[in-house]
Amino acid sequence: MRMLLIAGAFIGMVALCVLGWSYGGVGGLIGGALGFVLRLGGQGLDWGERIGNGYVGALMGMPVGLLIGGAWTLGIPYLLQAIGNA
């Protein structure tokens, strides 16, 4: 049951990034990839543990990347337009 929930969280986050592609979803996928790579080189006794660390890094990187991608895609152009109209 726990493996189903873990897999569901990952698949749901990837689906959220793909569905929100035009709203910064690409940032979520980039954040997930960066989180995976950064955590992959961390401490671990064997490759199974390192892959698990990378998985956790991907789960932490996807929401942060989605937030940054959304701010970049939607927030910054809105602020620039507001400043330009002032």
Best CA proximity match to 29, nearest among 3, 76, 68: 68
Model-level pTM?
A: 0.79
Q: Give the pLDDT score at 85.
A: 83
Other CB atoms within 10 Å distance of the CB of residue 8: 10
Continuous H helices in 20-73? 25-40, 47-70
Query: Could you report the per-residue pLDDT of 39-83, keeping only the tens digit for each?
Result: 887 777 788 888 888 898 999 999 999 999 989 988 898 888 989
